[in-house]
């Protein structure tokens, strides 16, 4: 048998050379992934900046109001429901933890700061992503595969200003307001769980809520909600706007995969950006 790295046919002619192991394969693989990620991040950044600067036009006001109703008003019920039961769970769990140390009087502080600093902005953003973000991705994706966006370009209408800018403006308005609703209803839920059901003094509870909550805590929660709002709308709209460029599917299936990707990526980015923003605020 020949000891070279070639495969020969019956006639003795060389037809194929066996692949040789090379460490450059790993560098090629990671390099391609890195270049792909950088390209996507650059595309998303350009997508966001172009859409953001088109907000400041008086003709955008009716579309912004419509999107505020869709993103904000129609999400208020689910956000407040989740906030109420989140506050009740916090009141119940923290009561049984604090009672071991004889510190039940600080229940209001623990509930309020947990909601205002962390759980309020994060859970509000996740709920809006699940309800409004997925709908935005599906709607824009269907407009893309049905060539409605191409028709806008034909009529010399900027699709980013027409479709994306009002949604970004509506998210900037709606996310902080819904976060405030979540915090307020959550504090009330904690009061019902801790005071009405478990017997903690109501005066001590609300005194601790007021005395422990500083303006920096409220401002930090609103800053997080603004960051989450911009991230969620940008990711969801980007996935829908470029759903036709997916390489793993096409047509209706590409819309479904884009919607799934938008929700998953948005939730992951909410948690990552929560840590980053918190590290700068503290």
How confident is the model over 173-209, as pLDDT tens digits?
999 999 999 999 999 999 999 999 998 889 999 999 9
Least confident of 6-10, 58-62, 206-210, 241-245: 6-10
Q: Compute the distance between CA of residue 162 and CA of residue 55 in angstroms, rounded to an integer.
A: 10
pLDDT (0 to 100) of residue 26: 65
Whole-number CA gyration radius for the chain: 26
Q: Compute the distance between CA of residue 27 and CA of residue 33 in angstroms, rounded to an integer.
A: 10
83, 182 Cβ separation under 8 angstroms: yes
- The first and second tokens of residue 96, run together, are 């049984």
pLDDT (0 to 100) of residue 105: 86
pLDDT (0 to 100) of residue 252: 83
pLDDT (0 to 100) of residue 247: 79
DSSP per position, 218-277: HHHHHHHHHHHHHHHHHHHHHHHHTGGG-SS--THHHHHHHHHHHHHHHHHHHHHHHHHH
Q: Compute the distance between CA of residue 119 and CA of residue 125 in angstroms, rounded to an integer.
A: 10
Q: Compute the distance between CA of residue 136 and CA of residue 123 in angstroms, rounded to an integer.
A: 19
Q: Compute the distance between CA of residue 244 and CA of residue 258 in angstroms, rounded to an integer.
A: 10
In this structure, how many other beta carbons lie within 10 angstroms of the beta carbon of residue 200?
23
DSSP per position, 169-198: HHHHHHHHHHHHHHHHHHHHHHHIIIIIIT
pLDDT (0 to 100) of residue 112: 94
pTM for the model = 0.85
48, 233 Cβ separation under 8 angstroms: no
- Report the chain's mean pLDDT, rounded to a whole number: 87
8-26 mean pLDDT: 55
Tens of pLDDT, residue by residue over 229-249, are: 999 999 999 999 999 888 778
pLDDT (0 to 100) of residue 2: 44
Q: Compute the distance between CA of residue 138 and CA of residue 184 in angstroms, rounded to an integer.
A: 32
Better-scored residue on pLDDT, 117 or 19: 117
Tens of pLDDT, residue by residue over 82-134, are: 999 999 999 999 999 999 888 888 999 999 999 999 999 999 999 999 999 99
151-174 mean pLDDT: 91
72, 174 Cβ separation under 8 angstroms: yes
Helix (H, G, I), strand (E, B) or coil at 156: coil
- Please, which pLDDT band fits residue 6 given cuts at 50, 70 and 90? very low
Tens of pLDDT, residue by residue over 207-230, are: 999 998 999 999 999 999 999 999
- Please, which pLDDT band fits residue 20 given cuts at 50, 70 and 90? low
Q: Compute the distance between CA of residue 47 and CA of residue 44 in angstroms, rounded to an integer.
A: 5
């Amino acid at each position: 048998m020949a000891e070279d790295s070639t495969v020969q046919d019956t006639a003795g002619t060389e037809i194929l050379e066996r692949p040789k192991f090379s460490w450059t394969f790993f560098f090629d693989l990671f390099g391609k992934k890195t270049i792909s990620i950088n390209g996507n991040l650059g595309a998303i950044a350009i997508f966001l900046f172009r859409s953001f600067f088109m907000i400041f036009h008086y003709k955008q006001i009716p579309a912004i109001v419509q999107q505020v109703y869709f993103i904000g008003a129609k999400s208020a019920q689910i956000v407040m429901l989740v906030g109420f039961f989140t506050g009740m769970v916090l009141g119940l769990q923290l009561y049984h933890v604090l009672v071991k140390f004889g510190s039940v009087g600080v229940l209001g502080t623990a509930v309020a700061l947990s909601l205002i600093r962390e759980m309020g902005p994060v859970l509000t953003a996740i709920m809006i992503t699940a309800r409004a973000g997925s709908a935005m991705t599906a709607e824009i994706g269907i407009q893309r595969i049905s060539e409605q966006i191409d028709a806008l370009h034909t009529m010399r209408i900027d699709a980013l200003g027409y479709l994306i800018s009002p949604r970004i403006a509506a998210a900037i308005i709606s996310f902080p307001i819904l976060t405030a609703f979540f915090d307020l209803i959550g504090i009330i839920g904690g009061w019902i769980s801790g005071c009405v059901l478990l017997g903690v003094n109501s005066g001590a509870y609300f005194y601790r809520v007021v005395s422990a909550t500083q303006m920096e805590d409220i401002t930090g929660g609103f800053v997080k909600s603004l960051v989450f709002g911009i991230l969620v709308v940008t990711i969801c709209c980007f996935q829908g706007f470029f759903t036709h460029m997916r390489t793993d599917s096409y047509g209706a299936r590409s819309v479904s995969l884009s919607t799934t990707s938008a929700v998953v990526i948005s939730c992951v980015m909410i948690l990552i950006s929560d840590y980053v923003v918190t590290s700068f605020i503290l």
